[in-house]
Amino acid sequence: MLLVASAAVEREDLPEDVRKDFETIRKNVETEARLIDDLLDMTRILRGRMPLILTTVTVDSLLAETIAVLRNDAAAKEIELLTHFAPERLLLQGDEVRLQQILSNVIRNAIKFTPATGQIELSTESRKDRLLITVTDTGLGMTESEIERIFDPFSQGDHVGERNAQRFGGLGLGLAISKLLVEQHGGTIGAKSPGLGLGSTIEIDLPLSAAVPSTVECETIAPEAAATESKSESTVVKSPRSMRILLIEDHDATRDTLALLLRRRGHTVVEASTINEGGIAAADGIYDLLMSDIGLPDGRGDELMMILRKNGFDAPAIALSGYGMEADLLRSRKAGFGLHLTKPVSIQELDRALARIL
């Protein structure tokens, strides 16, 4: 549903009012999916079932990529995003996906509570063997009592109340999840504010790594710095290089929509709907990327991926699945997928995945 709504928003041949309706649908689906993800994440963390997949992460790339994903949200409210990164190249030893989740929660929260035409400043500073990430906004600010409970699960500020609950939305889990993930990485997170109407600051302290980034193995796609600003979702951004993509997906509507989006971005797409069709297509052609659903009518996409890797198929690969638990991600990586996209996939997630590969 999310992909269909997102694709409709891109279609310039549809009337403006219809595109606005689909935009509303898209936002509602994204919100509901985020609420469910937050609840699942909180449950997994508290039960100790969210292990970290540790790699060496470049701080500037991590921050730039996170900002690129959220820039449209800030632009919608005409909020200015400012960055002040430390001049030296800083490295973290951590789980890249979870580190980005921490930053996304904090920055998204700042955007939510900063009025239109406000400002958010993101800065980094190295202090011996520690990294300090600071996110400061010109938003609603907080009272002392709000600061004390801001990282508690299901906590809502005094300014939300019954009248503003729908306006601000959320379950009050984003910052609570960020705190637990920061602590899993051996760090601390805190908040401060001069008072109501005077903005807020979130400070994240994490241990730095002295390791040199290792060579990227074939089954891992290294994240590239998203230095350029992401465009509006209603604008199709042509890829800098055309890829030949093998797309394996049994759901007709999802496959058609994905193929349409990929072709609009300048790529050539070969479609398959089963393990058998995908295996034949992979053997008969040369591809720059494989995208495969995990649950297929005649087998599993990760099992096909393992077979293809053993037979010398070395193109990057993206798994598509309705399941995004840690065990699902680990299984995809073990099979040879570099990225795992959990359905419903948004256009932003698709563009971000393609940018990583390119």
Residues 342 and 255 placed together within one structural domain of the fold: yes
Residue 328 φ/ψ, nearest 5 degrees? -70, -40
Q: What is the pLDDT of residue 303?
A: 93
CA separation for the pair 22, 3 (Å, rounded): 11
- Cα–Cα distances in angstroms (integers) from residue 181 to residues 100, 218, 258, 327, in the given order: 10, 28, 32, 17
Residues 115 and 13 placed together within one structural domain of the fold: no
Q: In angstroms, how far is the first alpha carbon of the chain from the final one? A: 27
Residues 122 and 18 placed together within one structural domain of the fold: no
Residues 32 and 167 placed together within one structural domain of the fold: no
Q: What is the pLDDT of residue 163?
A: 44
Domain boundary among 207, 231, 262: 207
Residues 167 and 102 placed together within one structural domain of the fold: yes
Q: Is the pLDDT of residue 155 over 90?
A: no
Q: What is the pLDDT of residue 22?
A: 62
Show the domain range for 77. 51-207
Judge whether 78 lies within some domain: yes
User: What integer is the mean pLDDT of 71-85?
Assistant: 92
Q: What is the pLDDT of residue 191?
A: 96
Residue 66 φ/ψ, nearest 5 degrees? -65, -45
Judge whether 225 lies within some domain: no
Residues 125 and 257 placed together within one structural domain of the fold: no
CB of 209 closer than 8 Å to CB of 215: no
Pairing outcome for strands 244-248 and 289-293: parallel
CA separation for the pair 356, 300 (Å, rounded): 25
Q: What is the pLDDT of residue 203?
A: 97
Q: Structure pTM?
A: 0.54
Q: Is the pLDDT of residue 234 over 50?
A: no
Q: Is the pLDDT of residue 119 over 80?
A: yes
CA separation for the pair 254, 268 (Å, rounded): 17
Domain boundary among 10, 26, 48: 48
Ranges 42-56, 232-246, 268-282, 344-358: which has the least confidence:
232-246
Pairing outcome for strands 80-84 and 188-192: unpaired
Judge whether 60 lies within some domain: yes
Residue 171 φ/ψ, nearest 5 degrees? -105, 0
Alpha helices by DSSP H, the chain: 2-10, 16-46, 59-76, 96-112, 144-149, 161-168, 174-184, 252-264, 275-284, 301-310, 326-335, 347-357
Which DSSP symbol is given to 154? Answer: T
Judge whether 231 lies within some domain: no
- CATH number for the domain harbouring residue 274: 3.40.50.2300
Judge whether 257 lies within some domain: yes
CA separation for the pair 61, 222 (Å, rounded): 10
User: What integer is the mean pLDDT of 223-243?
Assistant: 47
Quick one: how far is CA 218 from the chain centroid? 22
Domain boundary among 152, 179, 207: 207
Judge whether 117 lies within some domain: yes
Residues 9 and 115 placed together within one structural domain of the fold: no
Q: What would the 3-class secondary structure string for 97-152 be?
A: HHHHHHHHHHHHHHHHCCCCCCEEEEEEEEECCEEEEEEEECCCCCCHHHHHHCCC
Q: Is the pLDDT of residue 136 over 50?
A: yes
Tokens (6 digits) for 30: 């994204």
pLDDT in tens, 309-343: 999 999 999 999 877 777 788 889 999 999 998 87
Question: Residues of the chain with pLDDT > 90: what percent?
Answer: 43
Confidence category of residue 35, pLDDT binned at 50, 70, 90: low
Number of domains in the chain: 3
Residues 88 and 40 placed together within one structural domain of the fold: no
CA separation for the pair 17, 28 (Å, rounded): 17
- CATH number for the domain harbouring residue 199: 3.30.565.10
Residues 187 and 169 placed together within one structural domain of the fold: yes
Residues 67 and 203 placed together within one structural domain of the fold: yes
Q: Three-class SS of residue 245?
A: strand
Residues 336 and 348 placed together within one structural domain of the fold: yes
Q: What is the pLDDT of residue 227?
A: 32
Residue 116: closest CA among 67, 74, 61, 152: 74
Q: What is the pLDDT of residue 230?
A: 35
Ranges 7-16, 258-267, 342-351: which has the least confidence:
7-16
Residues 17 and 116 placed together within one structural domain of the fold: no
Judge whether 227 lies within some domain: no
Judge whether 221 lies within some domain: no
Q: What is the mean pLDDT of the chain?
A: 80
